[in-house]
Amino acid sequence: MAARADDIVRALEELLAELPARVRGSRDRVGEQTLGALRALSRELGLVTRDDMDEIELRVAQLEHRLRLLERPPE
Protein backbone atom coordinates (compact mmCIF):
# COMPACT_ATOMS: atom_id res chain seq x y z
CA MET A 1 0.00 0.00 0.00
CA ALA A 2 2.82 2.39 0.93
CA ALA A 3 4.67 1.57 -2.31
CA ARG A 4 1.55 2.36 -4.32
CA ALA A 5 1.13 5.66 -2.48
CA ASP A 6 4.77 6.51 -3.26
CA ASP A 7 4.15 5.74 -6.94
CA ILE A 8 1.10 7.99 -6.95
CA VAL A 9 3.05 10.79 -5.27
CA ARG A 10 5.88 10.46 -7.81
CA ALA A 11 3.41 10.50 -10.69
CA LEU A 12 1.74 13.61 -9.30
CA GLU A 13 5.12 15.30 -8.83
CA GLU A 14 6.01 14.54 -12.46
CA LEU A 15 2.69 15.93 -13.67
CA LEU A 16 3.15 19.08 -11.61
CA ALA A 17 6.66 19.51 -13.00
CA GLU A 18 5.30 19.19 -16.57
CA LEU A 19 2.37 21.53 -15.98
CA PRO A 20 4.10 24.84 -16.87
CA ALA A 21 5.34 23.43 -20.19
CA ARG A 22 1.89 22.06 -21.00
CA VAL A 23 0.25 25.39 -20.22
CA ARG A 24 2.77 27.23 -22.41
CA GLY A 25 2.11 24.77 -25.22
CA SER A 26 -1.64 25.29 -24.91
CA ARG A 27 -1.19 29.06 -24.89
CA ASP A 28 0.94 28.85 -28.05
CA ARG A 29 -1.68 26.69 -29.78
CA VAL A 30 -4.46 29.09 -28.83
CA GLY A 31 -2.35 31.97 -30.16
CA GLU A 32 -1.76 30.13 -33.44
CA GLN A 33 -5.45 29.28 -33.78
CA THR A 34 -6.42 32.90 -33.12
CA LEU A 35 -3.91 34.16 -35.67
CA GLY A 36 -5.21 31.66 -38.22
CA ALA A 37 -8.80 32.75 -37.61
CA LEU A 38 -7.85 36.42 -37.99
CA ARG A 39 -6.02 35.70 -41.25
CA ALA A 40 -9.03 33.80 -42.60
CA LEU A 41 -11.35 36.64 -41.60
CA SER A 42 -9.11 39.24 -43.24
CA ARG A 43 -9.12 37.19 -46.47
CA GLU A 44 -12.92 36.95 -46.37
CA LEU A 45 -13.19 40.70 -45.89
CA GLY A 46 -10.75 41.34 -48.71
CA LEU A 47 -8.23 43.08 -46.47
CA VAL A 48 -4.64 43.38 -47.63
CA THR A 49 -1.99 41.71 -45.50
CA ARG A 50 1.45 43.18 -44.82
CA ASP A 51 3.00 40.49 -47.02
CA ASP A 52 0.61 41.35 -49.86
CA MET A 53 1.43 45.04 -49.52
CA ASP A 54 5.18 44.38 -49.47
CA GLU A 55 4.86 42.25 -52.60
CA ILE A 56 2.88 44.96 -54.40
CA GLU A 57 5.38 47.66 -53.38
CA LEU A 58 8.24 45.56 -54.72
CA ARG A 59 6.41 44.95 -58.01
CA VAL A 60 5.66 48.69 -58.41
CA ALA A 61 9.32 49.53 -57.73
CA GLN A 62 10.40 47.01 -60.37
CA LEU A 63 7.96 48.45 -62.92
CA GLU A 64 9.08 52.01 -62.16
CA HIS A 65 12.69 50.97 -62.69
CA ARG A 66 11.87 49.36 -66.04
CA LEU A 67 9.93 52.46 -67.09
CA ARG A 68 12.90 54.71 -66.25
CA LEU A 69 15.14 52.46 -68.34
CA LEU A 70 12.74 52.72 -71.29
CA GLU A 71 12.46 56.50 -70.96
CA ARG A 72 16.23 57.03 -71.18
CA PRO A 73 17.45 58.37 -74.49
CA PRO A 74 19.50 55.85 -76.46
CA GLU A 75 23.21 56.19 -75.97
pLDDT tens-digit profile of 20-39?
877 777 777 777 888 888 88
More confident residue, 16 or 67: 67
Residues 32-60, mean pLDDT to the nearest whole number:
89
The total domain count for the chain is 1
In this model, does residue 63 exceed pLDDT 70?
A: yes
In the chain, the percentage of residues whose pLDDT exceeds 90 is 25
Sequence-distant (6+) residues with CB within 8 A of 39 are 49
Cα separation of 59 and 57, whole Å? 5
pTM of the model: 0.47
Query: The domain containing residue 54 runs over which residues?
Result: 2-71
